[in-house]
């Protein structure tokens, strides 16, 4: 048990360090851009013709983030405010805080991403295992590989555009955009739930199809490698049923690298899904970022970025926590 604890401690430390470094990058980057970030932002806003109560905003912002103080002091107060959950004020909707704008978007992004990722990872791994095991024997199975290759190399948002064209424009089966119908109020009724599902279908499908291709290809090649191993030969020689060998032997061994793959591509998945949200005007974090970019609202962009960093690193940490469940070697020996 102590080795498991040591594994946990190591992972937790890496998790914290990752957040710390990423947050530091977010702090440093705007300050590397020449000029006062606040002034630059406001003058750009003024150029864009926006009306705002600038002096009050500047005063508030400077006081909160101490922009007139030294870099070191600024950094400390930046970290302190973040730890308190204060991401600053939105420039465009001044009295409201960044958190007020970002928080309502989080459930939509997490809902869309978690359901699609878990679904495609599971389905892709299962199909990949079967095809990897019986690969050479069936024409149909062999035809799946190039299809998966094309899907995998297509970015989510490209597939999203094609799906919109086919299923929302040509055949009007699904809505073009938004997370629920205009005028509908978020409430816990069957009608609203169905409306949400109807709107989520296309964004979800575009994410599922693309990632399915990758999980399929990766599991297929993992199983193919396992097939040649000695322990499989032994199991076959013992006369174990084929189904047993595939699912209890080969599949279990391939599951660990497949889970590592999930952890490694999480950032990639999140990045792609953000843009898919933009294409569908789906009101998650991606859409918030897009709107903030349109309205030059830097604090909102920065807040969303920080939240995404927290979310991705924390999910990665949670996958790390699940490893020992899959791999007894980590439970017993403490892993790498």
Partner 1 sequence: MLLQNRKFMLGISVILLLVLLGLVGTLLTSPAMRRTGAYPVSLPPGQGTPLGTDSLGRSIAIQLSEAILKSLQVGLLAATLGTFFGALLGFASGYFGKLVDAVLRVLIDVFLSVPSLVFLILIASLVRGVGVQAIALIIGMFAWASPARQSRAQVLSLKERTFVKLSRLSGQSGLEIVFLELMPNMFQWLGANFVNAFLAAVLAEAGLSLLGLGPQKEMTLGMMIYWALSYGAILQNLWWWWLLPVLTLMCLFLSLYLIHLGLDEVSNPRLAAQA
Site string for partner 1, 19-58 (x = CB under 8 A): --xx--xx--xx--x---x--x---x--------------
According to the binding rule CB under 8 A, does residue 270 interact with partner 1? yes
Q: How far apart are alpha carbons 3 and 50 in whole angstroms?
A: 59
Q: How far apart are alpha carbons 307 and 82 in whole angstroms?
A: 10
Torsion of CA 117, 119, 125, 128, to 10 degrees: -110
Q: How far apart are alpha carbons 48 and 145 in whole angstroms?
A: 50
According to the binding rule CB under 8 A, does residue 74 interact with partner 1? no
If the CB atoms of residues 192 and 295 are measured against partner 1, the closer one turns out to be 295
If the CB atoms of residues 234 and 264 are measured against partner 1, the closer one turns out to be 264
* Shortest Å distance, C-beta 187 to partner 1: 30
* Shortest Å distance, C-beta 80 to partner 1: 21
According to the binding rule CB under 8 A, does residue 17 interact with partner 1? yes
Query: Is 263:276 a contact under the CB 8 Å cutoff?
Result: no
The span of 74-82, 85-93, 103-111, 275-283 binding partner 1 (CB under 8 A) equals 275-283
According to the binding rule CB under 8 A, does residue 86 interact with partner 1? no
* Shortest Å distance, C-beta 317 to partner 1: 9
Q: How many CA atoms lie within 13 A of 122 on its CB side?
A: 6
The span of 71-79, 109-117, 236-244, 306-314 binding partner 1 (CB under 8 A) equals 306-314
According to the binding rule CB under 8 A, does residue 162 interact with partner 1? yes
The SS3 of residue 284 is: coil
Q: Percentages helix, strand, coil for the chain, rounded to the nearest 5?
A: 80, 0, 20
Q: Which two three-digit tokens encode residue 129?
A: 């295992």
Site for partner 1 in 225-264 (CB under 8 A): 225, 263-264
Nearest to 15 by CA among 325, 334, 335, 315: 315
Site for partner 1 in 139-158 (CB under 8 A): 149-150, 152-155, 157-158
Characterise 240 by phi-psi region: left (phi > 0), alpha (psi -120 to 50), beta (else).
Answer: beta
Q: How far apart are alpha carbons 329 and 336 in whole angstroms?
A: 10
With a CB cutoff of 8 Å and minimum separation 6, the contacts of 92 are 50, 52, 292, 295, 296, 297, 300
Query: Is 259:326 a contact under the CB 8 Å cutoff?
Result: yes
Q: How far apart are alpha carbons 161 and 169 in whole angstroms?
A: 10
Instruction: Name which position in 101, 210, 308, 330 contacts partner 1 (CB under 8 A).
Output: 308
The span of 51-59, 185-193, 203-211, 285-293 binding partner 1 (CB under 8 A) equals 285-293
Q: Backbone phi, then psi, for 240, in 5-degree steps?
A: -65, 145
* Shortest Å distance, C-beta 270 to partner 1: 5
Instruction: Name which position in 54, 161, 201, 321 contacts partner 1 (CB under 8 A).
Output: 161
The SS3 of residue 239 is: coil
According to the binding rule CB under 8 A, does residue 266 interact with partner 1? yes
Site string for partner 1, 184-223 (x = CB under 8 A): -------------------------------------x--
Query: Is 254:222 a contact under the CB 8 Å cutoff?
Result: yes
According to the binding rule CB under 8 A, does residue 324 interact with partner 1? no
According to the binding rule CB under 8 A, does residue 123 interact with partner 1? no
List residues near partner 1 by CB under 8 A. 14, 17-18, 21-22, 25-26, 29-30, 33, 37, 40, 44, 149-150, 152-155, 157-158, 161-162, 164-165, 169, 176, 221, 224-225, 263-264, 266-268, 270-272, 274-275, 278-279, 289-290, 292-294, 298, 301-302, 305, 308-309, 312-313, 316
């Amino acid at each position: 048990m102590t080795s498991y604890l040591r594994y946990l401690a190591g992972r937790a430390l890496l998790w914290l360090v990752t957040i710390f470094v990423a947050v530091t990058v977010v702090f440093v980057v705007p300050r590397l851009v020449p000029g006062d970030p606040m002034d630059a932002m406001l003058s750009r806003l003024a150029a864009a013709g926006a009306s705002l109560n600038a002096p009050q905003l500047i005063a508030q912002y400077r006081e909160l983030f101490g922009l007139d103080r030294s870099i070191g002091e600024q950094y400390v107060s930046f970290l302190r405010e973040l730890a308190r959950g204060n991401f600053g004020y939105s420039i465009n909707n001044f009295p409201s805080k960044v958190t007020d704008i970002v928080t309502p978007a989080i459930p939509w992004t997490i809902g869309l991403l978690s359901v699609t990722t878990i679904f495609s990872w599971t389905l892709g791994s299962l199909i990949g295992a079967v095809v990897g095991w019986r690969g050479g024997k069936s024409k149909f199975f062999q035809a799946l590989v190039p299809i998966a290759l094309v899907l995998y190399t297509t970015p989510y948002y490209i597939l999203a555009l094609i799906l919109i064209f086919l299923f929302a424009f040509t055949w009007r089966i699904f809505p073009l955009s938004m997370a629920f119908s205009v005028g509908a109020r978020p409430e816990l009724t069957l009608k609203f739930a169905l409306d949400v599902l109807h709107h989520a279908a296309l964004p979800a499908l575009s994410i599922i199809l693309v990632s399915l291709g990758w999980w399929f290809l990766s599991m297929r090649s993992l199983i193919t490698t396992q097939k040649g191993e000695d322990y499989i030969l032994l199991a076959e020689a013992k006369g174990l049923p084929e189904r047993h060998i595939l699912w209890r032997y080969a599949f279990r061994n391939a599951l660990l690298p497949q889970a590592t793959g999930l952890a490694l591509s999480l950032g990639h998945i999140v990045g792609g899904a953000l843009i898919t949200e933009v294409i569908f005007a789906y009101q998650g974090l991606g859409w918030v970022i897009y709107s903030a970019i349109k309205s030059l609202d830097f604090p909102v962009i920065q807040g969303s970025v920080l939240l995404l960093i927290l979310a991705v690193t924390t999910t990665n940490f949670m996958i790390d926590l699940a490893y020992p469940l899959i791999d007894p070697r980590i439970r017993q020996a403490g892993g790498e």
